[in-house]
Amino acid sequence: MSKPNAGEQVLDFLYTTQLQVDDQWAVRAADGFTWWAAENAQVVEIIGEDTSPDAMTGYLVSVRTEMLSGIELTDAALNELNRGPMKFASMAGPVYDSGTGTVSLCTLARVHEEIAEWMGMLLSTAAVLQLAESHFFGAQMAEHQGAHVAVSGHPERGVRQEPDEMIHAAARIFSRENREPLRLKESDFAETVEQFMMAPPSMGASAGGLGLTVEFPFGDITSLCQFIGDKEHPLYGNGLLILQRFPHRAPTEADGIRLALEFNRQDLTEMPAGYGFGSYVYVDDMLCFNGFIPNLLLREGLLPSLYFSCATRALSMSLRLLGQGWD
């Protein structure tokens, strides 16, 4: 029997160890599984693979949780999405499916052998937070926009009436643990700037306190990227906020929000530009990407990986918005 690849290792870790999926409320497939922690489904699967220039195979692991059905993307609905799950994203972003009129929370990350262990922790946390946020944001939007909270059922057992304890895990575990002091130190930010951000593709960087700022090429100007460790997330407390800003004046605010949702669809369901932990949002004539890594997940060595992920996203946005790559 062949050894599981990195993607399969992560799927097994999520199913058996982290999510502790109840077999009675799950359907397994060759490329992943679907399970019902409550009345809405969560799908965890490998959607593809690619090979890096150094011949390392990466597997695209997707986590997707149903949130809303029967929603029409009116200007009011767009604004509520933008002010809610897009602005306060943690490790997933909303994706609209025009064919089905549904909104799901989605996460997408590339996994290879060297990062499978800690990427499994990030993806499993994203899965748990999706379960909680799909209920929190879904109920709000269903009430305000005339949509419906997503409901589906196991093909044999129907709709789950008694929710799995994982529904409450985000509030019980992450909020409590994240009230502790930030696990990163000021020196971690300073060392990351000194070791990795004083050369291209950085156009300039600085560290200060529990945070850092770096600029990437963006046409005749730059795009700004910030790591912020001294501001609490309204749902999860302490952690690391990642914020990237890309100037883009859309014809209307609704057009800007629709473009942000389209980038969510591309980056969170097809091919990630960097790590797909977070969401695009449109604000102040800018397309922004924001994500939040809870304190419990922060560890030594994570900041450089997040930096290179943000550099990949900055290049992708330069190409998509300006048609300009980097030399």
- Which residues on neighbouring strands pair with residue 255, listed in sequence order? none
Question: What percentage of the chain exceeds 70 in pLDDT?
Answer: 97
User: DSSP labels for 305-322?
Assistant: HHHHHHHHHHHHHHHHHH
- Which residues on neighbouring strands pair with residue 68, listed in sequence order? 103, 149
Please give the backbone phi and psi of residue 316, each rounded to the nearest 5 degrees, phi first: -60, -45
Mean pLDDT of the 87-109 span: 95
Average pLDDT along the chain: 93
For residue 201, cis peptide bond before it (omega within 30 degrees of 0): yes
The larger pLDDT score, comparing residue 238 to residue 313, is at: 313
> pLDDT-derived band of residue 198, with 50, 70 and 90 as boundaries?
very high
> pLDDT-derived band of residue 178, with 50, 70 and 90 as boundaries?
low
Q: Report the range of poorest mean pLDDT among 161-165, 214-218, 306-310.
A: 161-165
Angle value at C-alpha 322, between 321 and 327, nearest 5 degrees: 125
- Is it the case that residue 152 has pLDDT exceeding 70? yes
Record: fold of 6-177? Yope Regulator; Chain: A, (3.30.1460)
Measured between alpha carbons, how far is 290 from 140 in angstroms, rounded to an integer? 21
pLDDT for 50 equals 85
Q: Residue 233 has what DSSP assignment?
A: B
Helix then strand count (H, E) for the chain reads 8, 13
Q: Do residues 62 and 108 lie in contact, with contact meaning Cβ atoms separated by under 8 Å?
A: yes
pLDDT for 175 equals 66
The pTM for the full model equals 0.95
Predicted confidence (pLDDT) per residue in 252-309, tens digit? 999 999 999 999 999 999 999 999 999 999 999 999 999 999 998 998 889 999 999 9
β-strands 148-149, 102-111 pairing: unpaired
Q: Do residues 307 and 192 lie in contact, with contact meaning Cβ atoms separated by under 8 Å?
A: yes
Give the closest residue to 50 by CA, choosing from 106, 93, 6, 14: 6
Mean pLDDT of the 19-25 span: 95
- Which residues on neighbouring strands pair with residue 283, listed in sequence order? 286
Q: SS3 for 56? A: coil
- Is it the case that residue 104 has pLDDT exceeding 70? yes
- Helix (H) or strand (E) segment spanning residue 256: helix 253-269
- Is it the case that residue 174 has pLDDT exceeding 80? no
Name 270's Cβ contacts closer than 8 Å, sequence gap at least 6. 108
- Is it the case that residue 201 has pLDDT exceeding 80? yes
Name 215's Cβ contacts closer than 8 Å, sequence gap at least 6. 202, 203, 204, 205, 222, 223, 224, 225
- Is it the case that residue 226 has pLDDT exceeding 80? yes
Q: Residue 89 has what DSSP assignment?
A: -
For residue 163, cis peptide bond before it (omega within 30 degrees of 0): no
Measured between alpha carbons, how far is 115 from 112 in angstroms, rounded to an integer? 6
State both tokens at 291: 């994500």
User: DSSP labels for 120-182?
Assistant: HHHHHHHHHHHHHHHHHHHHHHHHHHS-EE----BTTTBS-SS--GGGGHIIIIIHHHTTSPP
pLDDT for 1 equals 58
User: Any idea which architecture 186-322 has in CATH?
Assistant: 2-Layer Sandwich (3.30)
pLDDT for 286 equals 97
- Is it the case that residue 220 has pLDDT exceeding 80? yes
Predicted confidence (pLDDT) per residue in 48-92, tens digit? 998 876 778 899 999 999 999 999 899 999 999 999 999 999 999
Measured between alpha carbons, how far is 311 from 165 in angstroms, rounded to an integer? 37
pLDDT for 169 equals 76
- Is it the case that residue 176 has pLDDT exceeding 70? no
Dihedral class, residue 302 (left if φ above 0, else alpha if ψ from -120 to 50, else beta): alpha
User: DSSP labels for 177-198?
Assistant: HTTSPPSS-HHHHHHHHHHHSS
Q: Report the range of poorest mean pLDDT among 50-64, 117-131, 154-168.
A: 50-64
Mean pLDDT of the 177-204 span: 92
Q: Domain segments of the chain: what residues?
A: 6-177, 186-322
